Chains A and B, each alone.
Chain A
Amino acid sequence: MKARNIVFAVSIFIIVVLQTTVLHYIKIFGITPNIMVVVVIGIALLFGNTQGAIAGFILGFCQDITFGKMLGFYALAGLYLGLVVGIVNKRLYRENILVIIFFTFISTIVYELSVYLVHEWGMHLFSPENSNNLDILYAVRNITLPEAIYNSIISVPIYALMIRINDRFENANKSIRKY
């Protein structure tokens, strides 16, 4: 369990660094995929809602620290993302690739739209002179939808990697139990 936690922490560090530095080099149509969202969804599907919520919280918090305009915004968004995906799926069909793609697609749209709407609402509430007109159609068509497609594609290798790492730990656990 300890080794698993270390792997978890190191992975999170790597994910945050990759996401903020290298990933914007592979922009397609000006959109960067969000592997942080993909990983949170993956953990929620693989290990359940609590683990998903914790992973979402930590990854979101890292995003808050590195880029957030305030502390806690992405942490909360990530927490609920992991929680809801974990509750909805209840570890069913977790090794079916289509389920993963479908979940990533839908969750990305819901997650990114909530981020947009909550942010705009917050701005409207607390600093109306800086707020913008809502442009949901643009937000969906030009940002959320392409990102969802991008995330879905990228979720396949990431999820495969996560399953492989998980299996290795489980095998290690089994071999320990033998003796």
Chain B
Amino acid sequence: MLRLFKNKFFLLLLITVFIFILMGVTAKQNSKLNWFSNTINVIFSPVEKFFSGIGDKIGSGLSYFGDVKEVKKENAKLKSDIDKLEKDTADLERYKQENDRLREALNLKNQFNQYDSIGGNVIAKDPGNWFDIFTVDAGTKDGVGNNYPVIAGSGLVGRVLNAGFISSKIMTIIDVDSTVSGMLTKTGDQVIIKGDLSLKEQGLCRMDYIPTDEDISVGDSVVTSGIGGYYPKGIFIGKIKEIRQTNNEFTRYAIIEPVVDFKRLEEVFILKNKNVGNTGTDGAGK
């Protein structure tokens, strides 16, 4: 009996040590062992995709029944909206021109020209409550690689944590381990955008290292600065929602509301540098 217990104890110790080594090896992104998890993910991904589709259908199906009365009201509203939208279209055209002009002024050349975008649907989300990672149904077979930047609409979502064969893990910018080098569009100063545990649930993140003489105000926009290797310069991150003063230091931080709505994220685009490997490997060396 004692020997058995000893054996079990020894086995436990052996497994623990082995896993610690495994953790150390696989913590590096370009680890050779990733093929293993990629292989098993090939089994999980299609099923997850299927269930995710069902979940979406149920969600939209439930709202269908509740909405019959609303439809009439909505129709009237939509008609009036069309008028408004026509006016908005004209406005947007004007903004677009203004945007181009401002971009030029800021020296933010349209760098996305040298990127291909690979579309992907969100198929599964991190089961725990600590992190904000999701998987999309695009992988190395579509040309996705580690550390490629991910956007949705016009805003930054995050980066590819691990590209598998048919699916990839994506870490969002609101994840606690995410750090993005940002730039205030008003002044061009560098800031750091980090995920925060207490802000994650509301889909917000925090901005640190704001220069003390910097004059920031609520509503200022933040874009990526291009420093750090993961993200190209000039991707829109979000706007300042709130500025907070820390009481024990002369420092302050701001709360950023990303343009991307992380709760309703369904489709993303992964940016792939046409000069193959540039974005992907830059970051990995960090």
Spell out A's residues near B (CB within 8 Å). Answer: 13, 16-25, 30-32, 34, 36, 50, 53, 57, 62-67, 69-73, 75-76, 79, 83, 112, 115-116, 119, 123, 126, 129-130, 132, 135, 138-139, 142-143, 147
* C-alpha spacing A20/B126, complex, angstroms: 6
| Contact residue among B19, B128, B130 (Cβ-Cβ distance under 8 Å from A72) | B19
Q: Is B114 an interface residue (CB 8 A)?
A: no
A-chain residues with CB within 8 Å of residue B126 when the two chains form the complex: 20, 67
Contact B22 A65 (CB under 8 A): no
Q: Is B59 an interface residue (CB 8 A)?
A: yes
B-chain residues with CB within 8 Å of residue A62 when the two chains form the complex: 40, 44
Contact A76 B128 (CB under 8 A): no
A-B contact pairs, 23 of them (CB 8 A): A21-B48, A21-B51, A24-B127, A25-B59, A30-B201, A63-B128, A64-B37, A67-B124, A67-B169, A69-B131, A69-B133, A69-B161, A71-B25, A72-B26, A76-B19, A79-B15, A83-B12, A112-B128, A126-B27, A132-B176, A132-B197, A138-B198, A143-B130
Known contacts A72-B26, A135-B197; is-contact A16 B44 (Cβ 8 Å): yes
Known contacts A67-B127, A67-B133; is-contact A123 B19 (Cβ 8 Å): no
Contact A67 B197 (CB under 8 A): no
Q: Is B281 an interface residue (CB 8 A)?
A: no
CB within 8 Å of A: which B130-177 residues: 130-131, 133, 135, 161, 169, 171, 176-177
How many chain B residues touch A (CB < 8 A): the figure is: 48
B-chain residues with CB within 8 Å of residue A25 when the two chains form the complex: 55, 58-59
Contact A75 B12 (CB under 8 A): no
Contact A32 B124 (CB under 8 A): no
* C-alpha spacing A112/B40, complex, angstroms: 25
Contact A65 B15 (CB under 8 A): no
Contact B129 A18 (CB under 8 A): no
Interface string of B206-244 (1 = CB under 8 A from A): 000000000000000000000000000000000000000
| Contact residue among B22, B59, B179 (Cβ-Cβ distance under 8 Å from A130) | B179
* C-alpha spacing A30/B130, complex, angstroms: 11
Contact A66 B177 (CB under 8 A): no
In the A-B complex, list the 5 residue pairs whose CB atoms are closest, starting with the nearest. Answer: A20-B124, A71-B26, A21-B51, A30-B201, A72-B19
* C-alpha spacing A123/B194, complex, angstroms: 14
B-chain residues with CB within 8 Å of residue A123 when the two chains form the complex: 177
Contact A138 B197 (CB under 8 A): yes
| Contact residue among A16, A21, A57, A115 (Cβ-Cβ distance under 8 Å from B130) | A115
A-chain residues with CB within 8 Å of residue B129 when the two chains form the complex: 30-32, 34, 112, 143, 147
Given contacts A72-B22, A126-B27, 7 further A-B contacts (CB under 8 A): A22-B52, A23-B127, A25-B59, A50-B8, A69-B133, A71-B36, A79-B15
A-chain residues with CB within 8 Å of residue B133 when the two chains form the complex: 67, 69
B-chain residues with CB within 8 Å of residue A71 when the two chains form the complex: 22-23, 25-26, 33, 36-37
Contact A17 B16 (CB under 8 A): no
A-chain residues with CB within 8 Å of residue B47 when the two chains form the complex: 13, 17
CB within 8 Å of A: which B8-56 residues: 8, 12, 15-16, 19-20, 22-27, 33, 36-37, 40-41, 44, 47-48, 51-52, 54-55
Known contacts A66-B124, A70-B26, A71-B23; is-contact A22 B37 (Cβ 8 Å): no
Distance from B279 Cβ to chain A, minimum over Cβ atoms (Å): 19
- Residue of B whose beta carbon sits closest to that of A126: B27
Distance from A168 Cβ to chain B, minimum over Cβ atoms (Å): 25
Q: Is B252 an interface residue (CB 8 A)?
A: no
* C-alpha spacing A118/B141, complex, angstroms: 35
Contact B27 A119 (CB under 8 A): no
* C-alpha spacing A16/B44, complex, angstroms: 9
Q: Is B204 an interface residue (CB 8 A)?
A: no
Distance from A45 Cβ to chain B, minimum over Cβ atoms (Å): 19
